[in-house]
Amino acid sequence: MIKKRQLGHSDLHISEISLGCMNLGTNVKQATNIIDTALDQGINYLDTADLYDFGENERILGQAIKGKRDQVMIATKGGNHFEPGKEGWYWDPSKAYLKEAFKNSLLRLGLDYIDLYQLHGGTIEDPTDEVIETFEELQQEGLIRYYGISSIRPNVIKRFVERSNITSVMMQYSLLDRRPEEEVLNLLNDNHIGVVVRGALGKGMLTSIGQTQWQKKGQKGFLNYDSAELKSIITSLQDLANDHNLSPQSLAIGYALKHRAISSLVLGASTPEQVLDNVRAYQDAQISDNVYNQLKPLTKANIYEQHRD
């Protein structure tokens, strides 16, 4: 049984773990099997973006949920300007492009409305009021239920908190990336804005295959950790998991879900088996305050050093 949490001040109640669709691939049958597995397990929130496979991800997701719209809440993102058939993209948060991008997302998904539409990034130089106006108009037209941003930049997040009625912020957060903890999570919680987490498993380094993933992803370090520090953390996490008869990913999921600002952890999957692995890890992830306090000293309380006023 997957519990649900309210997404910020909205009336959306989304599963504590959700499906990140970026790695579904372009095989429709395989992608549909992944999505069906997620829905069967009680996951009701699916996160995509127009940039994933340049629109193909949205199109496949739309096909996969036909006849199941009442079971799911769909989140997508826009702001990265691309044209089908052309390589590359550039950042374009203008009202004209966001309206065009949204219309194309809606068509690819085959939907009448989108539950959560998010700005896919953002800088302090953006025309923020124009972005907000765009989202408000889409909401008033009934084309989106709520809107949010996907950003890790404190200055951008604070500006949207001050000026808009955002429902959510999607950001990276994990035992390895604790930057949001003191400064951002409390701010969002105080303003009744939900946090949707990506990266909760630290590129797979906070899982049972952590050492393998460290070989692949950790040789150049991660944030303010060097390679040796990462390896030590992975070993310590595995030891603590063994002590409590849990998997490292259960501890990582439990840690990220512990903060009251968090609404859901978006966990990616490229096979149905990975969905089931994530669900199994989640089911053991209701960690005690004691375990939470044992996890904290394993990593640094790192902070944001860029994108500040």
> Any idea what DSSP says for residue 15?
E
Please identify every residue annotated as catalytic: 52
Question: Which residue matches tokens 């995509």?
Answer: 48
Contacts of 7 (CB under 8 A, 6+ apart): 13, 14, 116, 146, 167, 168, 194, 196, 263, 264
Secondary structure of 88-129 in the HEC alphabet? CCEECCCHHHHHHHHHHHHHHHCCCCEEEEEEECCCCCCCHH
Report the length, in residues, of the chain.
309
Do the Cβ atoms of 175 and 202 come closer than 8 Å?
yes
Q: Which H or E element spans position 171?
A: strand 168-172
Of residues 287, 279, 209, the one with CA closest to residue 244: 287
In sequence order, which residues have a C-beta less than 8 Å from that of residue 3 and are 6 or more positions away? 15, 16
Q: Which amino acid is at 219?
A: Q
In the 8-state DSSP scheme, what is residue 268?
A: E
Encoded tokens for 211: 């050492």
What angle (nearest 5°) sits at the alpha carbon of residue 17, between those of residues 13 and 22? 110
Distances (CA, A) of 10 to 133, 166, 266: 19, 10, 18
